[in-house]
Chains A and B, each alone.
Chain A
Amino acid sequence: MKNHNVPKSNTFKLPMSLAKTLAFLILIFTVFILFSFLTADFSFIKIGNLNNILADAVIPAIFAFGMGIIVAGSGFDLSLGHIASMTALITAYLMSGGLEFAPFAAIMVGLITAAGIGTVSGLLVSRMGISSIIVTLGMQFLIIGVRQIVTGGQSVYIKNETFKWLATNEFGISNLFIILVIIGVLCYFLMERTTFGRKIQFIGSNIEASRYMGINVKNYTMYTFILGAVLAAFGGILFAARAGAVQINSVDSKLLDAVTIALFSYVLFGRFKTLGIVMVAILISMIGTGMSMMGIKTEWINFIKGLILLFSILMEKFMNYNTKTTLLKKGAKNHGR
């Protein structure tokens, strides 16, 4: 999975990561050109539509940041969508009704709830030695039950204009995209420029070695789940601001986006890469918008996203074919000892 190809010769070579980024930009551009010719009278490249594509990419990208951090530590979280739904519901509920919280306070309460859920699943994974898929599957059902108590299954409408401002077009470009840039920069520094992020990625690539290095493996595994839950919750809150109303299960299905984007970026770059996640999110949002403009039923887009997920793994296998096969052969010869 990890790709540590360092160019050995003295001749100039593009760094692998940069080359991949450029290749991916070309892919995005190709898809863009393709769709602008396929849609009727070039409606795909109207400014409003492009802004829409960017805004559509934001919420999946923030989910994928959360998922990407968890995946970087070699965990997996099936409950991200449900956490986000519950947070959006709680935030909307606190602001409406008889409670009338200020938006900031409501968002804070939502994020703290999500952090609590993340802590519980992180503790179960790191301290009890349960597979993270099982823990988060159980957590998913716990959340389905608990969130029913909050509003009794009713959907909540948001009237607070300050909160809705989060998803408006204030500066010509969608506010959501500016928020994405801020969160992206934060994630970039946290995961790629600090020891904290490095340690998480190191645990993901080799847990035994990182334990011998003196990294507190259990705590760092737990932190990935907390961070993932908080980021997903933030995505859910932004969704609420954009939609203006929250149903009880409105964000559940965003899990597919999170998984697809995070894994695509992860297999492409071999590690957590913020820019990669944003690029994949834009690509997938582009494909979704383009296909629905071509008149394909929205249900099939889910199918296509699943195909993209499979395709991304296939691509990784072919890209790392040489290093991978030699490693496999070596393992097969002495049976992995």
Chain B
Amino acid sequence: MRNKINKYLLCYTMPFGLLVLVFLLQIIFYDVPLFSALNIKNMLLQSVSIAMTALGLSYIMMSGEGDLSFAGMFSLLTVVFAIVTNAWSNFFIAIIAITIIAVGVNLMISLLVTRLKFSSFIVSIAVMFMANGIEKAFHQQTTLINSEVIKSFSTIEFGLPLVVWLMAFVYLISYFIINKTRFGFNLRIVGENKYAAIEAGINSNKIKVFAYIIAGLLLALAASVESTRVGAIYEQGKYYMLPVFAACFFGSSMFVPGRVNVVGTLVGALFLGIIDNFMKMINVESYIVPIVQGTVLIVSVALASVQNRSKIVQIKL
């Protein structure tokens, strides 16, 4: 009985604490309409692309690898999307193009990691810088999307904006895949203990390649959403690196402690969105925002790894 209570405490203290924190913020800054319908809608809209990218990263992290390449790829994909839509004014050509790019690059990374045993962090850092270089070569400022039809995708609403429903749908599917299917079960085993996976006869290379491909799809989706909403901003991906990582690590400190999980990632991304939105509404100085984000990341990871803090995590190359 006591074990069970402890387990529930471990799983649900964190989300409950976050909820209390948000309510406290509302009580302290009572003149900020944090829970008004408009604000909630805005907050959800802003956190859609972060949440989707974080979901993709969660797949990769569940399979026991790490990834930084999205920071470079994200801005590259938004630029390609904006340029292609402006050239042909066709939504589908653009989305097919960026999906092919994202999946292709992630497939390449996954093959390097699984077949040639490269360190995934180093490969993804190299890819991040390469993507940055390409982006710099033919894009220097903000590109807005001209077509009104495509822009209106981000404003269509059924109660909530369309992209928010899209996010909810993606998360629902992912929850089902991770928790209810054989693939998800294998994915979690590969990340948890690769020797157990070998004993169980799981082809861990195949699983990892699939995880990377799903991450690529989600990255393309997130980039297209971001591009339709605000256009392609130069080196935007850099500023997404931290929130996405923070969402994943935040997620790993709740519901299934110590492991990256789908619901946790969603809660983490939404919490970061709330904090970001809140800081915008009380008009803090611009330099406070990165400080708060960095602190949130470090504190959340410290909370997630508090159980095995005596062990130093090394990065093997």
Contact = CB atoms under 8 A, between A and B. Distances in A.
* A and B are interacting partners: yes
Interface of A: 1, 71, 74-76, 124-135, 137-142, 144-146, 148-149, 204, 207, 217-218, 221, 256, 259, 263, 266-267, 297, 299-307, 309-310, 313-314, 317, 328, 332, 335-337
B116 A130 contact: no
B137 A335 contact: no
A5 B68 CA distance: 33
Given A76-B315, A310-B126, A335 B290 contact: no
B295 A221 contact: no
B287 interface: yes
B6 interface: no
Nearest to A311: B126
Contacts of B249: 134
Contacts of A133: 66, 68, 121, 315
Nearest to A204: B314
B136 A138 contact: no
Interface size range of chain B in the complex: 35 or more
B283 interface: no
Contacts of B33: none
Interface of B: 66, 68, 112, 116-119, 121-123, 125-130, 132-134, 136-137, 195, 198-199, 241-242, 245, 249, 285-295, 297-298, 301-302, 305-306, 308-317
Given A132-B313, A337-B195, A300 B133 contact: yes
A268 B291 CA distance: 38
Contacts of A306: 126-130, 133
Contacts of A303: 129-130, 133-134, 137
Given A144-B290, A313-B119, A335-B195, A124 B315 contact: no
**Residue with the highest number of chain B CB atoms closer than 10 Å, among A138, A139, A299:** A138
B297 A127 contact: no
A332 B197 CA distance: 12
A149 B313 contact: no
Given A306-B126, A306-B129, A300 B301 contact: no
B123 A313 contact: yes
Contacts of A267: 317
Contacts of B112: 310
A144 B242 CA distance: 12
25 contacts: A71-B317, A74-B314, A74-B316, A124-B298, A125-B312, A129-B305, A133-B68, A134-B301, A137-B245, A138-B301, A140-B242, A141-B242, A146-B291, A148-B286, A217-B312, A259-B125, A266-B317, A302-B132, A303-B129, A303-B134, A306-B130, A317-B117, A317-B118, A335-B199, A336-B195
